[in-house]
Chain A
Amino acid sequence: MATVAVPRAQLKPVPWSVLRLVPGIALLAAVGYAGKFLERFLNTYAKAHHWTFPNIEYVLWAILIGLVISNVLTVPKIFQAGIATYEFWLKVGIVLLGSRFVLADILKLGGISLALVVIEISLSLALMHWLGKVFNLSPKLTSLLAVGSSICGVSAIIAAKGAIDADDEDSTFAIAAILALGALALFTFPLVGHAFHLSDTAFGLWSGLGVDNTAEATATGALYSDAAGKVAVLAKTARNAMIGFVVLAYAIYWAKRGQTTAVGNKAAFLWNKFPKFVLGFLAISLLVSFHTFTKDQASSLANLSRWAFLLTFAGVGLRTNFRELSKQGVRPFIVGAFGEILIAALTFGLVFGANRIWGL
């Protein structure tokens, strides 16, 4: 399947030119809401006509509409900057999702996730390095693919690129491969999950561990069920929390080989690379656990999180472009694909084992 992300417009930290973002954000909202409308409309229509019609979640509709727009039509430039904000909405959604977890849930599921994440990261790194050697990829491209597939896709690749002074070309290859494979996972993971009758928790854990990019991991979980989406975010957040440690290890490794500057203050480096939305997620969960919000207020926060994810899912479709793959080269994609299939199988085995031990 030829999918790959179009090069995304660079999000400048701030100050943003807010007006520049409005058309793209409006498009995200329109596509996301169209997905939600289609889900409701088709269910109502099927019920009224006594049809047996599977419930297709708004997530899939939003992604499909986005894919059609970005591949059949051409998205005008005026929308690009706003579409690129989908990652911002993803992170807002994750922080607010903290309202759906009390601390006890986080400690239990987060503990299991962390244990599995450590195993997954170690095995994925070893596997991707082995594949990189077999396919004779450049060591830095291999490092980027390893970081991307073991931790959290695009953010990890961007963090590692700066830390190990990798080429722009290598990081473009690695990002393209990771995003293409994430798009593939969106459609294959739920099929496998249903075939093996995975519970919502087990499937959510598998999505969080096996799908690399946070947006795709969240969407894959949500495609299975709302509860699976929630667990997928928790598992993925645990994985994201490890980004600083792995990137630091790579930075030290390449500095020792004299190919990048040495890391000075390691604590500052770790803080700089640490995904801050993890702290926001924990803070909201802590506030909800101590009843800072009424039940209605917690429910409003959860719904705000769903609206933020709606914009994200529309963005996942809108930024994926099939034509771009041919420009990216085949070898990194093959290495990525081999690695991802093996990692998907490996994480599936881990979740299956955890299910037996802890009864997820």
Chain B
Amino acid sequence: MSQEKPADKPSHFALSLDSWAVVAALILAVAVRFDLLKKIPW
């Protein structure tokens, strides 16, 4: 019988990698929209 390790316990912040990527991208978009990040070069 497998024992649940503490690390396996669901966390309140247990979003998937996909969801975290969306959150990060949306934060960047908001920062650009309100000019907190300006003229990002390439």
Name A's B-contacting residues (CB within 8 A): 11-15, 87-88, 90-92, 94-96, 99, 275-277, 279-280, 283-284, 287, 292-293, 296-297, 299-301, 303-304, 306-307
Contacts and interface: CB of A to CB of B under 8 A. Distances in A.
Interface in B1-42: 7, 11, 13-22, 24-26, 28-29, 32-33, 35, 37-42
A13 B16 contact: yes
A226 to B, nearest CB: 10
Given A280-B26, A292-B33, A303-B42, A91 B15 contact: no
14 contacts: A13-B17, A88-B17, A92-B28, A275-B18, A277-B22, A280-B26, A283-B26, A293-B33, A296-B38, A297-B33, A303-B40, A303-B41, A303-B42, A304-B28
Identify the 6 closest CB pairs spanning chains A and B, nearest first.
A91-B21, A95-B25, A280-B22, A300-B40, A276-B18, A303-B42
A306 B24 CA distance: 15
Given A95-B21, A99-B29, A280-B26, 10 more contacts: A12-B7, A13-B20, A95-B22, A277-B18, A277-B22, A293-B33, A296-B38, A297-B32, A304-B32, A307-B40
A284 B22 CA distance: 10
B24 to A, nearest CB: 5
Nearest to A301: B32
A304 B7 CA distance: 33
Contacts of A299: 40
Contacts of A95: 21-22, 25-26
Nearest to B21: A91
Residue among A12, A92, A303 having the largest count of chain B Cβ atoms under 10 Å: A92
A301 B29 contact: yes
Nearest to B28: A304
B13 A14 contact: yes
B22 A14 contact: no
Interface of A is mostly: helix
A258 to B, nearest CB: 22
Contacts of A301: 28-29, 32, 40
Contacts of A304: 28, 32, 37, 40
A303 B40 CA distance: 6
B7 to A, nearest CB: 7
Given A293-B32, A300-B39, A13 B25 contact: no
A91 B17 contact: yes
B1 to A, nearest CB: 17
Contacts of A293: 29, 32-33
Contacts of B33: 292-293, 297
> Most chain-B CB neighbours within 10 Å: which of A279, A284, A297, A300?
A300
A12 B7 CA distance: 9
Contacts of B39: 296, 300
Which of A87, A279, A287, A297 has the largest count of B CB atoms less than 10 A from its CB? Answer: A297
Contacts of B42: 303, 306-307
A277 B25 CA distance: 9
B25 A280 contact: yes
